[in-house]
């Protein structure tokens, strides 16, 4: 019996190496897939963080600008603003006009490339002659120039009533 057991071991000796190599290759492939998956998750989390950073910067500046306009309107300063043409203002779509007229209510936003900006434009509503209308456009940044969020608020002040209509701009205008 001793001799027969040895010959069987001899017979299976050449099949062990391919099986071990196959298992090793499967383990390497699985770990490579997990690594790629974790890299993709990390990139996605970083992109979401940048978007949220830019969104909160733009939203906060939009709120600060709206408060300033409402306060100025209460003091009568908005009445002294130049009369605007009817129809929605479009200066926010022009890079030179936006950069020249935008204000930065905060000097820096933590973790952002640039401070968030806000542009205040006036316009006249034909259907509501007594109302003063403003288009507030804000732009917030993440860690890079490409991570920007644009938000707008239409602010209509008529007597003591203040209407706010908020909207997000899906694509950068310039």
Contact 120, 136 (CB under 8 A): yes
CA distance 40 to 33: 11
pLDDT for the residue 4: 57
Tell me, rounded to whole angstroms, the distance of Cα 157 from its chain centroid. 29
Sorting pLDDT into bands at 50, 70 and 90, what band is 16?
confident
β-strand 117-123 against 148-158: which pairing, if any?
A: unpaired
**pLDDT tops 90 at residue 12:** no
Distance between first and last Cα of the chain: 87
H or E element that contains 137? strand 132-141
Which pTM was predicted? 0.78
Weakest-pLDDT range from 20-24, 105-109, 126-130, 145-149: 126-130
Contact 112, 140 (CB under 8 A): yes
Weakest-pLDDT range from 3-7, 73-77, 99-103, 109-113: 3-7
H or E element that contains 164? strand 161-169
- At 138-171, the pLDDT tens digits run 999 999 989 999 999 999 999 889 999 999 898 8
Residue spans of the domains in the chain: they are 25-169
């Amino acid at each position: 019996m001793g001799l027969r057991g040895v010959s069987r071991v001899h017979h299976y000796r050449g099949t062990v190496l391919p099986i071990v190599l196959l298992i090793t290759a499967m383990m390497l492939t699985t770990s490579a897939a997990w690594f790629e998956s974790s890299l993709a998750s990390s990139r996605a989390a970083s992109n979401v963080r940048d978007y949220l950073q830019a969104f909160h910067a733009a939203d906060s500046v939009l709120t600060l600008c709206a408060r300033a306009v409402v306060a100025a309107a209460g003091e009568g300063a908005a009445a002294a603003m130049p009369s605007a043409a009817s129809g929605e203002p479009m200066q926010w779509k022009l890079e030179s006009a936006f950069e020249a007229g935008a204000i930065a209510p905060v000097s820096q936003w933590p973790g952002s490339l640039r401070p968030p900006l806000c542009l205040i434009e006036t316009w006249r509503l034909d259907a509501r002659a007594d109302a003063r209308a403003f288009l507030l456009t804000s732009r917030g940044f993440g860690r890079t120039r490409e991570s920007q969020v644009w938000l707008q608020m239409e602010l209509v002040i008529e007597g003591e009533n203040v209407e706010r209509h908020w909207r997000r701009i899906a694509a950068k205008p310039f």
